[in-house]
């Protein structure tokens, strides 16, 4: 469990990062919090010849509010996001999900950019960003571009990020009046990647739900937007009947897989259980 | 000499026995100043990494190491054939496990590899990273062989043989038939059958295995720093297989970050490391990384047990029968063998109950998976799970409360000494007293009421009970009689220095469990000094008395007694000198609080340091015909009983979420009888830690294998160990039935928690699921298995 030899660079500007990326191509890897990258290097699952440490780039870190949206720098640590009152006010879903990411020591170093670049199918942030309609800001040689979170995650550990690009920030629309969020996951131990999880955002009026964006994670290669559940619950009162219908619709939205942690059958069962919990939570206020 | 002292260790003034004394080594460890094997660094030190077989069973056609030898920093690349010239193979059998067979095993695989993870080629380099780089350059041509992974079919005629020279894949079989089981079945109101499965798991040590060997050709001396439980055993084994005389090998065992039985075995990669140092004449270090630990540390507890219990309508248990099948990997592990776990299951199943009719069969088969061997509470988690599972099966069948059926059938506390159906003698157990204490502690009746109320609201809670017996303080009956170089006795050497301080050298070892603290308490109490005067030295074969080390819950009971006897003898020697100095009859003197005092009234006479000063610096003031002896050694081995059996009972109350299969502990209580409690806090910590380790196996831990013999979950992310958030608070109570085999009366306490935990949690889950018609019998009891049991998925 020792990495193979690699070169190390610690650039002082994003431009410098981009220069190194275009020079080294696939041979280079960005190091953010290192919580996912370093284990894979130690296990020799990845062996970059150049590690580009972006921890010196203060401009990639921090949370700011611009009118209708929140901007979170790619290098912002999970812990800072977890404790941010701005996030709690304007994107409470993120605050709800944070404690489920690993353990405090990992959240002290792990970053938002790393989480989404890694695109682990069981990670919380990708699902939350999809539920909230967030955008990912990607910077490359020809400048910055924005991609909707739902378009960014392409497949298992596969994203829209080009080899010569870097994630610089994410932007999350601030929660509108009348909207609520809910988050839940089922993991064997607290802090583990979940067996099944769900993040949701919806307009709630008393017991009536509309504009529901329910996103499951750990059930496919990417976060899965539960469109059928969304339609089933459009302008619906949350009650036993609508919950049953929503649970039924989950079968159209998901085709989960077996892995070491649990079977596809259990995942589907959990997705339905989470659907019930999430709907009840949304209308509970 | 010692018998001149009539006072009993439990009657000493200013006694530390029974007191919570913070362990002296805790501060050092917590301030990061421990010395674990990997912390030791020597000049000219090299690092070895092993190329391990990626196949579960494959022939080595050829090895091309030429590129690896040229790789940066590489010192040597050694194959199995080259290693075999230096280190002889071994066979993991013991003569008292009659019929047990295994094949010769090498430090590095020769001709073929028999499990995924078996070391095949050793690469020594200046750094571990360089060694790992070079491993990638070794080219091996493999020819895959058919694998044997399923223990159920291991003995079928058409299953290939792992070691053709053995004739079959059967390592060992033991059968026992006591009383009249068939007669009992004929008369019984009910005979209930069930199959229980304990899946394979392993012990995860915070500090992985590690060894650093240094050979000095100038004095033909091997010095080995080793994270081990049994330094003298390892000294003997290294000597034998490298053909070096034992006194030319020094095994030093500094701090150990947990061992749990994992570090009481001898491992091929560790022999290889020592042999490499011998071959290269320079230090070689091996520190197992976490990934290789999962495929090279021993695994344990892969058992399928078919059970039968006969019971009357009145709740009298009339017979137990078990058929245990276990797969141990391709070799029986050396030198303790892989037969002991099944042997314990046969020996002790049902042993806490009055039933005389008992039939057992254990079948131990070979497979192409990591070798299995003894892990904390060896066999007990399995045998307690089936015993207590069967008893609950019987109670459910006849509609009797699980507490009542236990009250009715437990061997009464006044029936001891008592011989179990397997022939094992139990000196003095306290099942009844322990059970009644537990019932009070957990408020059994209150919980039954709460359970009924919760059930009305659709909440499923369950109560589990698990009584257990535990082997501790093993004498030579465990291993020595079978021919293993494992000392059953242990010694303590105590030395008074010139300033009145005391150095205690002991054969038992510290693994993080507090053995040094317990020994210091015993030594200080026996001698009459304060704890701060005592320094304990353990884990060095050049220095300490010969001993067995730490395993089988023996460190406190055996090492503690040796310290007691040494302390008393040293006190005798000291008061003899003091008598001369004070012109008093030594029998009227005592040592208390670092002073020589009058025995009768405790009146202070002189400081202990004064005795030291006179004996060492001014012996000319003592009579010419008198020689003081301020160093004594005493040894101890239990003689009346082959083992000091202990007992206890665990009780838990938990809630099962019938939608998710998750469980939530509401209460967890343990009553434990380890005889004399030397340090309550340390005993409680042992019980708690033990329970958590037992719950790990019961709920989370499982070595998952593919049919091809590939371990599928070999990292800390997918091999789930218990973590604090999910674990219960554990209340611990004690009943004390001291063993009369020693003056101290202490039995072991290290494994009791682990032995009972799987049973109690299984029984509680099944109690909760009973109204839904569900029952779990396959460990670990995962959410998935719980939901399957109640038909939710
Ligand atoms: C024990 C453990 C448990 C964990 N549990 C969870 C969990 O439950 N849920 C969860 O979501 N995560 C979990 N994680 C992962 C954790 O959240 C990581 O911090 C995160 O996935 C990666 O963030 P990082 O900053 O550490 O990224 P790094 O490890 O530094 O990088 C990860 C990958 O992202 C790339 N990358 C990083 N930043 C950028 C960027 N700005 N632009 C482009 N590419 C970039 C890197 O090149 C690398 O390929 C766990 C980690 C551990 C060790």
Same domain, yes or no, for B666 and B780? Answer: yes
pLDDT, mean of residues B4-20? 87
pLDDT of residue B4: 47
Q: Ligand 1 pocket: which of A10, A48, A82, A101 to mutate (most atoms <8 Å of CB)?
A: A101
Q: Could you tell me which of A219, A204, A203, A201 has the C-alpha nearest to residue A271? A: A219
Which residue, chain included where needed, has tokens 């004064």?
A: B610
Tokens of B364: 């131990």
Q: Could you tell me which of B45, B67, B78, B85 has the C-alpha nearest to residue B137? A: B67
In this structure, the dihedral spanned by the alpha carbons of residues A121, A122, A128 and A131, taken in order and rounded to 10 degrees, is: 60
Same domain, yes or no, for B235 and B383? Answer: no
Which strand (E) or helix (H) includes residue B604?
A: strand B604-607
- pLDDT tops 90 at residue B5: no
Interface residue A45 vs chain B (CB under 8 A): no
Which domains, ranges and CATH numbers included, belong to chain A?
7-53 (3.30.43.10), 61-173 (3.30.465.10), 194-284 (3.30.390.50)
Q: Ligand 1 pocket: which of A18, A36, A157 to mutate (most atoms <8 Å of CB)?
A: A36
B286 contacts B210 by C-beta, under 8 angstroms: yes
Same domain, yes or no, for B532 and B466? Answer: no
Question: What percentage of chain B carries pLDDT values higher than 70?
Answer: 99
| Mean pLDDT score across all residues of chain B | 97
- Host domain of residue B768: 379-473+641-789
Tokens of A264: 């596809």
pLDDT of residue A1: 87
Residue A262 to residue B700: CA distance in whole angstroms: 12
Cβ–Cβ gap A44/B132 under 8 Å: yes
Which residue, chain included where needed, has tokens 């977890």?
A: A82
Closest residue, chain A, to B660 (C-alpha): A270
- Tell me if residue B644 falls in helix, strand or coil: strand
Q: Could you tell me which of A171, A56, A74 has the C-alpha nearest to residue A118? A: A74
pLDDT of residue B151: 97
Cα–Cα–Cα angle for B251, B254, B255, rounded to 5 degrees: 145
A92 contacts A110 by C-beta, under 8 angstroms: no
Residue A245 to residue A252: CA distance in whole angstroms: 11
The model's confidence at residue B2, banded by pLDDT at 50, 70 and 90, is very low
Q: Is residue B176 part of a domain?
A: no
Polymer length in residues for chain B: 793
Residue B171 to residue B326: CA distance in whole angstroms: 10
Summarised one tens digit per residue, pLDDT across range A123-173 is 999 999 999 999 999 999 999 999 999 999 999 999 999 999 999 999 999
Choose among B128, B660, B715: nearest Cβ to A2: B128
Interface residue A44 vs chain B (CB under 8 A): yes
Same domain, yes or no, for B212 and B137? Answer: yes
Task: Collect all residues with Cβ–Cβ distance below 8 Å to B447 and sequence separation of at least 6.
Answer: B463, B653, B667
Looking at residue B465, which CATH number applies to its domain? 3.30.365.10
- pLDDT tops 80 at residue B1: no
Closest CA of chain B from A115, distance in Å:
17
Q: Is residue B245 part of a domain?
A: yes
Q: Is residue B137 part of a domain?
A: yes
> Chain A to chain B, count of Cβ pairs less than 8 Å apart?
60
Closest CA of chain B from A268, distance in Å:
9
Summarised one tens digit per residue, pLDDT across range B280-315 is 999 999 999 999 999 999 999 999 999 999 999 999
Nearest CA to ligand 1 atom 4: A102
A75-84, A207-216, B249-258, B479-488: range with lowest mean pLDDT: B479-488
The model's confidence at residue A222, banded by pLDDT at 50, 70 and 90, is very high
Choose among B662, B700, B784: nearest Cβ to A262: B784
Cβ–Cβ gap A269/B726 under 8 Å: no
Q: Could you tell me which of B49, B139, B53 has the C-alpha nearest to residue B329? A: B53
- pLDDT tops 60 at residue B561: yes
Q: Is residue B712 part of a domain?
A: yes
Atom of ligand 1 nearest to the CA of A165: 43
Residue B508 to residue B513: CA distance in whole angstroms: 12
pLDDT, mean of residues B712-732? 95
Q: Could you tell me which of B202, B205, B91, B13 has the C-alpha nearest to residue B599? A: B13
Interface residue A262 vs chain B (CB under 8 A): yes
The model's confidence at residue B6, banded by pLDDT at 50, 70 and 90, is low
Same domain, yes or no, for B388 and B269? Answer: no
Q: From the CA atom positions of chain A, what is the Rg in Å?
A: 19
Tokens of B428: 């003095």
Task: Collect all residues with Cβ–Cβ distance below 8 Å to B534 and sequence separation of at least 6.
Answer: B24, B501, B502, B504, B520, B523, B524
By DSSP bridging, strand B358-365 and strand B170-178 are antiparallel
Cβ–Cβ gap A192/B700 under 8 Å: no
By DSSP bridging, strand A7-9 and strand A50-53 are parallel
Closest residue, chain B, to A196 (C-alpha): B660
Q: Is residue B165 part of a domain?
A: no
Same domain, yes or no, for B465 and B579? Answer: no
Same domain, yes or no, for B225 and B278? Answer: yes
Looking at residue B53, which CATH number applies to its domain? 3.90.1170.50
Give the CA count within 13 Å in the CB-facing half-sphere of A104: 1
Which of B602, B636, B670 is a domain's end point?
A: B636
Kindly list the protein residues whose Cβ atom lies closer than 6 A to any atom of ligand 1.
A 29-37, 74, 101-102, 106, 109-111, 113-115, 117-118, 123-125, 161, 166-167, 191, 193
Summarised one tens digit per residue, pLDDT across range B647-665 is 999 999 999 999 999 999 9
Q: Could you tell me which of B699, B759, B762 has the C-alpha nearest to residue B725? A: B699
| Phi (first) and psi of residue A202, to 5 degrees | -160, 160
Q: Total domain count for chain B?
A: 3
Summarised one tens digit per residue, pLDDT across range B65-122 is 999 999 999 999 999 999 999 999 999 999 999 999 999 999 999 999 999 999 999 9
Same domain, yes or no, for B676 and B582? Answer: no
CA–centroid distance, A105 to ligand 1, in Å, is 13
Same domain, yes or no, for B393 and B456? Answer: yes
Atom of ligand 1 nearest to the CA of A31: 30
Closest CA of chain B from A123, distance in Å:
14
Question: What percentage of chain B carries pLDDT values higher than 90?
Answer: 98
Residue B774: DSSP 8-state:
-
Same domain, yes or no, for B227 and B257? Answer: yes
Summarised one tens digit per residue, pLDDT across range B133-178 is 999 999 999 999 999 999 999 999 999 999 999 999 999 999 999 9
Which of B597, B620, B636 is a domain's end point?
A: B636
The model's confidence at residue B344, banded by pLDDT at 50, 70 and 90, is very high
Same domain, yes or no, for B86 and B217? Answer: yes
Respond yes or no on whether the N-terminal peptide bond of residue B417 is cis (omega within 30° of 0).
Answer: yes
Same domain, yes or no, for B762 and B656? Answer: yes
Tokens of B270: 């560790």
Interface residue A153 vs chain B (CB under 8 A): no
- Strands (E) across A83-177 are located at 135-140, 143-148, 153-155, 158-159, 166-173
Return the residue in B49, B703, B723 with the most chain A beta carbons within 10 A, the one to mutate for interface testing: B723
Tokens of A98: 């944070």
B736 contacts B675 by C-beta, under 8 angstroms: yes
pLDDT, mean of residues B588-593? 97
Which of B585, B612, B636 is a domain's end point?
A: B636
Return the residue in B71, B132, B698 with the most chain A beta carbons within 10 A, the one to mutate for interface testing: B132
Q: Is residue B773 part of a domain?
A: yes
Cα–Cα–Cα angle for B36, B39, B43, rounded to 5 degrees: 135
Query: With left for phi above 0 and alpha for psi between -120 and 50, is residue B334 left, alpha or beta?
Result: beta
Q: Is residue B514 part of a domain?
A: yes
Q: Is residue B50 part of a domain?
A: yes
DSSP conformation letters of B122-188: EEEESSHHHHHHHHTT-EEEEEE------GGGTTSTTSPPSSGGGSSSEEEEEEEEES-HHHHHHH-
Tokens of B553: 């819950």
The model's confidence at residue A285, banded by pLDDT at 50, 70 and 90, is confident
Return the residue in B721, B780, B783, B790 with the most chain A beta carbons within 10 A, the one to mutate for interface testing: B783
């Amino acid at each position: 469990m020792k990495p193979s030899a690699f070169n190390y660079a610690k650039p002082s500007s994003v431009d410098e990062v981009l220069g190194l990326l275009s020079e080294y191509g696939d041979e280079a890897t960005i190091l953010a919090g290192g919580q996912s990258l370093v284990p894979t290097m130690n296990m020799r699952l990845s062996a970059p010849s150049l590690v580009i440490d972006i921890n010196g780039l203060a401009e990639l870190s921090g949370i700011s509010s611009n009118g209708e949206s929140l901007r979170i720098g790619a290098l912002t640590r999970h812990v800072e996001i977890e404790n941010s009152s701005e996030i709690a006010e304007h994107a409470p879903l993120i605050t709800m999900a944070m404690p489920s990411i690993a353990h405090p020591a990992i959240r002290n170093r792990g970053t938002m950019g790393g989480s989404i670049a890694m695109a682990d199918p069981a990670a919380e942030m990708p699902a939350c960003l999809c539920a909230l309609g967030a955008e990912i800001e990607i910077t490359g040689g020809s400048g910055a571009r924005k991609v909707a979170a739902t378009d960014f995650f392409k497949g298992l550990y596969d994203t829209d990020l080009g080899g010569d690009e870097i994630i610089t920030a994410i932007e999350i629309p601030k929660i509108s009046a009348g909207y609520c969020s809910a988050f839940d996951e089922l993991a064997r131990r607290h802090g583990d990647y979940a067996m099944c999880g769900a993040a949701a955002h919806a307009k709630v009026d008393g017991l009536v739900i509309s504009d529901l964006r329910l996103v499951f994670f750990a059930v496919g290669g990417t976060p899965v937007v539960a469109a059928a559940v969304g339609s089933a619950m459009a302008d619906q009162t949350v009650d036993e009947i609508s919950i049953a219908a929503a649970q039924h619709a989950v079968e159209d939205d998901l085709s989960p897989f077996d892995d070491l942690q649990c079977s596809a059958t259990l995942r589907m069962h959990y997705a339905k259980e989470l659907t019930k919990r999430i709907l009840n939570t949304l209308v509970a206020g | 000499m010692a018998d001149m002292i009539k006072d009993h260790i439990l009657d000493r003034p200013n006694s530390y026995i029974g007191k919570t004394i913070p362990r002296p080594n805790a501060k050092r460890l917590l301030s990061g100043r421990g010395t674990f094997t990997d912390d030791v660094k020597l000049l000219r030190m090299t690092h070895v990494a092993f190329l391990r077989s990626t196949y579960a069973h494959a022939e080595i056609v050829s090895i091309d190491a030429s590129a690896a030898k040229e790789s940066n920093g590489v010192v040597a690349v050694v194959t199995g054939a080259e290693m075999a010239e230096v280190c002889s193979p071994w066979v993991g059998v013991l003569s008292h496990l009659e019929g047990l067979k295994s094949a010769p095993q090498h430090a590095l695989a020769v001709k073929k590899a028999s499990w995924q993870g078996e070391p095949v080629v050793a690469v020594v380099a200046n750094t571990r990273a360089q060694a790992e780089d070079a491993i990638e350059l070794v080219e091996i041509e493999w020819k895959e062989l058919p694998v044997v992974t399923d223990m159920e079919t291991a003995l079928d005629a058409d299953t290939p043989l792992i070691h053709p020279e053995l004739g079959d894949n059967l390592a060992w079989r033991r059968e026992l038939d006591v009383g009249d089981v068939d007669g009992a079945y004929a008369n019984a109101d009910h005979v209930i059958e069930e199959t229980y499965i304990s899946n394979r798991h392993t012990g995860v040590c915070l500090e992985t295995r590690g060894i650093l060997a240094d050979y000095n050709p100038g004095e033909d001396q091997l010095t080995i720093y080793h994270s081990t439980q049994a330094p003298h055993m390892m000294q003997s084994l290294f000597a034998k297989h490298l053909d070096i005389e034992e006194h030319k090998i020094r095994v030093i065992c500094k701090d150990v970050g947990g061992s749990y039985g994992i570090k009481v075995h001898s491992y091929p990669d560790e022999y290889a490391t020592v042999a490499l140092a011998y071959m290269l004449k320079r230090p070689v270090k091996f520190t197992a990384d976490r990934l290789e630990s999962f495929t090279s540390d021993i695994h344990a507890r892969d058992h399928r047990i078919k059970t039968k219990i006969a019971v009357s309508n009145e709740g009298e248990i009339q017979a137990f029968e078990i058929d245990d099948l276990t797969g141990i990997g391709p070799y029986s592990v050396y030198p303790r063998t892989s037969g002991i776990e099944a042997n314990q299951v046969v020996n002790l199943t049902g042993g806490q109950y009055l039933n005389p009719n008992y039939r057992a069969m254990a079948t131990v088969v070979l497979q192409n998976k990591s070798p299995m061997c003894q892990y904390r509470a060896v066999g007990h988690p399995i045998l307690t799970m089936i015993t207590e599972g069967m008893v609950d099966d019987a109670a459910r069948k006849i509609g009797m409360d699980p507490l009542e059926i236990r009250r009715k059938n437990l061997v009464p506390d006044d029936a001891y000494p008592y011989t179990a159906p397997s022939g094992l003698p139990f000196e003095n157990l306290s099942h009844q007293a322990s059970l009644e204490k537990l019932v009070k502690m957990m408020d059994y009746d209150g919980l039954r009421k709460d359970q009924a109320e919760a059930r009305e609201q659709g909440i499923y809670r369950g109560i589990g009970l698990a009584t257990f017996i535990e082997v501790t303080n093993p004498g030579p009956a465990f291993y020595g009689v079978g021919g293993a170089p494992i000392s059953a006795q242990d010694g303590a050497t105590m030395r008074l220095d010139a300033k009145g301080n005391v150095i205690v050298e002991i054969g038992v070892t510290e693994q993080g469990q507090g053995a040094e603290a317990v020994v210091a308490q015993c030594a200080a109490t026996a001698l009459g000094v304060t704890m701060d005067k005592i320094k304990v030295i353990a884990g060095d074969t050049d220095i300490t008395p010969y001993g067995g080390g730490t395993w089988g819950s023996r460190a406190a009971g055996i090492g503690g007694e040796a310290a007691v006897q040494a302390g008393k003898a040293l006190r005798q020697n000291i008061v003899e000198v003091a008598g001369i100095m004070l012109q008093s009859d030594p029998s009227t003197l005592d040592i208390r609080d670092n002073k020589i005092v009058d025995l009768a009234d405790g009146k202070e006479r002189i400081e202990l340091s004064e005795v030291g000063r006179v004996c060492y610096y001014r012996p000319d003031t003592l009579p010419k015909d008198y020689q003081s002896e301020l160093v004594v050694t005493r040894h101890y081995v239990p003689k009346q009983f082959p083992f000091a059996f202990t007992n206890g009972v665990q009780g838990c109350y938990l809630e099962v979420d019938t939608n998710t299969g998750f469980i939530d502990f509401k209460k967890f209580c343990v009553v434990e009888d380890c005889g004399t409690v030397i340090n309550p806090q340390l005993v409680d910590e042992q019980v708690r830690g033990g329970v958590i380790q037992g719950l790990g196996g019961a709920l989370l831990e499982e070595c998952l294998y593919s049919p091809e013999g590939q371990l599928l979950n070999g990292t800390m992310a997918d091999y789930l160990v218990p973590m604090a958030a999910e674990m219960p608070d554990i209340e611990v109570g004690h009943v004390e039935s001291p063993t009369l085999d020693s003056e101290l009366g202490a039995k072991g306490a290290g494994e009791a928690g682990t032995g009972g935990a799987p049973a109690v949690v299984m029984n509680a889950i099944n109690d909760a699921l009973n109204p839904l018609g569900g029952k779990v019998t396959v460990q670990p009891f995962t959410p998935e298995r719980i939901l399957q049991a109640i038909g939710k998925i």
